[in-house]
Amino acid sequence: MAEPGAPAVKPVPSHLTDRFTRLRESFKQKYGTDPEFFARAPGRVNLIGEHIDYCGYAVLPMAIEQDIVIAAATTDDQKLTLANVDPSFSDFTSTVDGFTIDKSQPRWFHYFLCGFKGVVEHCKIDKPSGLNVLLEGTVPKSSGLSSSSALVCCSGMTTARANNCSLSKKELAEVCTWCERYIGTEGGGMDQSISFLAEAGTAKLIEFNPLKATDVSLPDGVVFVISNSCVEANKAAFAHYNVRVVECRLAAQLIAKSKGLDWRKLRKLGDLQSALGVSLEEMGVIVDQLLHKDPYSREEVCKELGVTSEELQDTSLSQNTKDLTTFQLHDRAAHVYSEADRVFKFKAVCDEKPADALVQLGQLMNASHASCRDLYNCSCAELDQLTQLCIDAGALGSRLTGAGFGGCAVSLVPAAKLQDFLKAVQSGFYDNSPTRSTRVAESLFATQPGDGATFFTL
């Protein structure tokens, strides 16, 4: 495939004309001018490969139809004005260089500012143009479908275009990966990469270092269905996500130390595997040999690494994990190596299409969920109930998708059974709950691999 260039500029497709016309009218009402351009970045559903991108391993997502759209116009007053169509998100104004991104209290506009700051720094823009922005999002928030990264990506491409910086989709994906960390979450890059590199009709294997996206053609006769547990999990407001990142880092460092490697330089379980030059299966054996299943105390970790508690902050911890006192290492590493293996197996089944391909894919998804639940502890009661219900309703496989702790499940469903499946999940999970029953339409839906980020003209 040809090296993907900058995000395309396309006319608004006819089924979206009403939405973009409304957005243009709202923009005009607010700012008194037409927007100069529209940017759109999609959310995603990860089919398999959870919590392993930040360990350096490949993942297998596809873009969804739900997205973040920004209508924007440049201004010459060096002012940023950020507004949201949803009235529960209040306006933000600042000069282009006069804001701070508050990690302790993440607000919606901080995600925009991450993308803005990232592109300004990456492109070394001396005097960034002022911007009037009106944003509209349809990705369910804090639900594992990557609303946060869709927002950061949409902001990044908006900022690049407003300042006449031509960045390729890969470059944008990489900039938006590191700049989302300004909000505090130490993400791995899956969400931003698929938002930019997705193509309609195909899922993608996303590999890192170097970033690469390879088409994965899904078997015929099945659909992927998303179902939201309706438990919100805000990844920047709580430390759970970063705790997992740090536990993986410490697992890699402890094993590296006992294998005589330069452990201070080693920060990813994937890099540890490369340094040792062994298979994923063998990594599983090494984890069992060198790490104990009980949690490690901070003292024990420090003793193993030969550092003081303060030094550990520099070598391994992050802002919102610097005071942690216990770490679960064995189970986190065991999850990562087995999940990385499941991604390659999933891809191989999609490529080779054996007679029992659908059964195999379903089993891999179920094994992924069990590992997230039992080893990574990133599921929750509602997601466990929902995935079981999906299996009972006819899914071949069902698993939490995204970081977990709440949010959505994704299920592999035979196309012929889709309507019965949707009916059964609706009555089993949504109809009997007053809070969920009003949200069925946006919470339970079949999805197709959607297109990546683009600019639109109206």
Q: Which of residues 142-181 bind ligand ADP (CB under 6 A)?
A: 142-149, 151
**8 A C-beta contact, residue 60 and residue 206:** yes
Calculate ∠ Cα 315-102-372, nearest 5°.
60
Among residues 51, 49, 50, the alpha carbon closest in space to that of 245 is found at: 51
User: Which tokens hold the place of 129?
Assistant: 């143009």
Binding mask 49-68 for ligand ADP (x = CB under 6 A): -------------------x
Please name the amino acid found at residue 170: K
Cβ proximity to Mg ion: between 232 and 271 the closer is 232
The most distant pair of C-alpha atoms in the chain lies apart, rounded to whole Å, by 66
Contacts for 303 with CB less than 8 Å, ≥ 6 apart: none
Applying CB under 6 A, the site for ligand ADP has a residue count of 24
Cβ proximity to ligand ADP: between 87 and 277 the closer is 87
Binding range to ligand ADP, per CB under 6 A, among 59-67, 82-90, 258-266, 290-298:
82-90
Minimum CB separation of residue 106 from ligand ADP in Å reads 6
DSSP 3-state of 77: coil
Binding mask 405-424 for ligand ADP (x = CB under 6 A): --x-----------------
User: Is 341 marked active-site?
Assistant: no
Q: Which of residues 96-135 bind ligand ADP (CB under 6 A)?
A: 108, 111, 135
Cβ proximity to ligand ADP: between 71 and 272 the closer is 71
Which runs of E-coded beta strand occur in 12-171? 37-48, 60-75, 79-84, 92-95, 130-137
Distance CA 407, CA 387 (A): 12
Cβ proximity to Mg ion: between 46 and 273 the closer is 46
**8 A C-beta contact, residue 244 and residue 332:** yes
Which of these is catalytic: 67, 191, 331, 341? 191
Distance CA 279, CA 294 (A): 25
Minimum CB separation of residue 142 from ligand ADP in Å reads 4
Minimum CB separation of residue 131 from ligand ADP in Å reads 16
Among 6, 36, 89, 384, binds ligand ADP (CB under 6 A): 89
Which residue is at the shortest CB distance from Mg ion?
Answer: 148
Minimum CB separation of residue 185 from ligand ADP in Å reads 7
Cβ proximity to ligand ADP: between 143 and 398 the closer is 143
Binding mask 419-458 for ligand ADP (x = CB under 6 A): ----------------------------------------
- Judged by the rule CB under 5 A, the positions of this chain that interact with Mg ion are 148, 235
Binding partner selected for residue 143 from Mg ion, ligand ADP, none, CB under the kind-specific 5 to 8 Å limit: ligand ADP
Cβ proximity to ligand ADP: between 103 and 417 the closer is 103
Altogether, the residues listed in the chain come to a count of 458
The one-character DSSP state at 56 is: T
Q: Which helix (H) or strand (E) holds 364?
A: helix 357-374
Instruction: Find where tokens 């002012």 sit.
Output: 79
Which 3-state string (H, E, C) describes 87-127?
Answer: CCCCCEEEECCCCCCCCCCCCHHHHHHHHHHHHHHHCCCCC
Distance CA 428, CA 416 (A): 20
Residues forming the active site = 191
Residues of this chain that interact with ligand ADP (CB under 6 A) are 68, 84, 86, 89, 108, 111, 135, 137, 139, 141-149, 151, 234-236, 402, 407
